[in-house]
Amino acid sequence: MYLILLSILAPVLSGIYLLVRKEYADRKRLLFAAGAAFLLTGSLVIAALCGAEDSSYTLFYLTSTLPVVFAADEMSILFGTVTVIVFLGAGFFSFEYMKHEQKEKRYYGFYLIVFGVLNALCFAGNLITFYLFFEMLTLSSMPLVLHNGSREAIMAGLKYLFYSLCGAYMALFGLYFVSKNSDTLVFTPGGVLNESAAAHPVLLLVVALVMILGFSVKAGMFPMHAWLPTAHPVAPAPASAVLSAVIVKGGVLAIVRVVFYIFGSSFLCGTWVQTTWLILTLITVFMGSMLAYREPVLKKRLAYSTVSQLSYILFGLAVMDVQSVTGSLLHVLAHGLIKSVLFLCAGAIIYTTGKTRVDELRGIGKEMPLTMWCYTIASLGLIGIPPTGGFISKWHLAMGSLSSAIPVFRWLGPVVLLVSALLTAGYLLPLTIHGFLPGADYDYTNLKKREPSLFMTVPIVIMTSLSVLIGLFPTQIVNWMESFLIQ
């Protein structure tokens, strides 16, 4: 279990060291220090995930009944793996990208702290531990949004803070009632509610909905989604990748823990809470896709896309069918890789050309073919085209919904997901089409190939390849997920 503590402390202490240390005279020394911290943390997390399953460690007690506990289970493995891959990929990408953003020492300091806090979130063994680090995640990631110091960034950061704290306080409200009606706050498959909960089920259903809404703020679910398309575009591109692919998954993990490990799906299944949750997820799926379709700025378009795609995950969780939940967890993995690639490709384009709007990028495929091929493959994955991982996850989401016994939603869900997929093709593929086929009037005389450096292209290529591999060889991952979901 010491590996779990080290995987949390190593990046946090490294980040604090970078923040308090004087400026490096040589940029290479800064990059070496940050890179070493990335690799050390990644190694510690992987070692912890491989060797600490089904074990727990109590660090200390906040009160006599509220221990801070770390543990590793299947959810830790899934979310921890996504976190490591994305943080390492976006971290090494930033070695080149951050040259034009400046204030690199501060950026890497907070980036490492967020890495450690997310590891703590993955390994949190009970609800109070999770809540503590959920709050820390907001406070530590806010500087990534504020990084460039512009008025737009400051307002976006404040909006992010306001929404996140409102959501966290809603969750805290629920935590009081849960602790009163359970014998433990330790995450337990099937839930932890005790016999006293049967005396007032209506109140606890209200509490469950409040907690779902509170934690879903981080995941950008309607009506608390507005911070996400404001905050993500103003952050540096590698920070946007982490925000969109991993940090928002903190909200997803929170909902998984609350629904399946605190209340229990049997307590919520078939209730008005499930119906309300399903309605909100489908509204968000369609709304996010439509807003992305209408958005001309590339990074903001991708941010609206995240709003939509995260509610794919939440929809599968709300159905509470084994196959739909499997699809949700698969989409956690697939979306994490795909959205990282898309934001990093957007960052590579901005870094190389200085252009931010989709209508400015005609012919970009001729100038940056490798980057645009990765963008295209990732886009096909987000749409749900085989053989990508996005197809497998959406297949399970649709089939899980159809096999459920939920009136109306069993068919309405797949319909909304299909419409959203068509809209996804409508807002992602035009960049590919006009990028590789700019038309007869395109000026080829000024054309020059200008792919970014290996620091930027290698992470993009690796994560693109992984997003396809999980679609080509999904069987073991699906079997593993179903094995612990059926328990």
φ, ψ at 207 (rounded to 5°): -60, -45
- The H-assigned helical ranges of 98-150 are 104-123, 127-145
Q: How far is CA 385 from CA 341, 376, 394, 422, in A?
A: 16, 11, 10, 11
What pLDDT sits at residue 150?
83
What pLDDT sits at residue 54?
55
- Is the overall model pTM greater than 0.85, yes or no? yes
> Rounded distance, CA 70 to CA 80, Å?
13
* Side chain identity, residue 435: G
487 residues of the chain, pLDDT tens digit each: 678 888 898 999 999 998 888 877 778 888 888 888 888 888 888 887 777 555 677 888 888 788 899 988 888 889 999 999 999 999 999 998 888 777 888 999 999 999 999 999 999 989 999 999 999 999 999 999 988 888 888 998 899 899 999 999 999 999 999 988 888 888 888 888 887 777 778 899 999 999 999 999 998 898 888 888 888 788 888 898 998 889 999 999 999 999 999 998 888 998 999 999 999 999 999 999 999 999 999 999 999 999 999 999 999 999 998 899 999 999 999 999 999 999 999 999 998 888 888 888 888 888 889 999 999 999 999 999 988 889 999 999 999 999 988 999 999 999 999 999 999 999 999 999 988 888 777 776 677 778 888 889 999 999 999 999 999 998 988 888 887 775 5
* Distance between first and last Cα of the chain: 24
What pLDDT sits at residue 228?
85
* Side chain identity, residue 441: D
Closest CA to 104 of 269, 238, 268: 238
* Side chain identity, residue 485: L
